[in-house]
Amino acid sequence: MDNYMEKLVTKKRTTVDTLITVGIVLGVIVLVLLVMSIQVLQQLGIGLLLAALIIYIGYRLISSRNLEYEYIVTNGDLDIDKIISRSKRKRIFSASCKEFDIVSPVKSNSFSQSVQEIKNRIDASGSIDSPDAYFITLNYNGEKTVVIFEPSERMLKSFKTYIPRKVFLADNSSAE
């Protein structure tokens, strides 16, 4: 019987996300006012059409900042999908847990300077500051990679059955 688990995590909005949203809104306002003030565009009857297009593009840019990550574990294989605006899905990671070097909480001594300096990084967590954030290191697509995610206790327990010496649990976890 297959061992199947899934979890959905919503990316928390940061100050940078808010600043980007404000920048997009201000840019849209300036562009719409600019388009509406050009008389040639109004006489050709495309001023309102261009303004509507600019507003639509602004809306799409802002809504594309709404991210979710879905973790799927099937018999020790971890797949991570990125979901943009609840409509577009893209697989960003897929590997067997047997390829993992370590699975450990981000808030642990294992998240050392050498791990933090790994350039190839996949952050699929709601927030790296979350108490539930874990990291994985592995050789992925020929490069040393760190993956940050927020697995459920059942997922951690599943990994521990396949790679018991490589999974380190948080002190408050009961997945032993």
The pTM (predicted TM-score) of the whole model is 0.83
Output the tens digit of pLDDT for each of the chain's 176 residues: 578 899 999 999 889 999 999 999 999 999 999 999 988 877 888 888 999 999 999 999 999 999 999 999 998 899 999 999 988 999 999 999 999 999 999 998 888 888 888 899 999 999 888 889 999 999 999 999 999 999 999 999 999 999 999 999 877 544 44
Contact yes or no for 100/138 (Cβ under 8 A): yes
Contact yes or no for 163/97 (Cβ under 8 A): yes
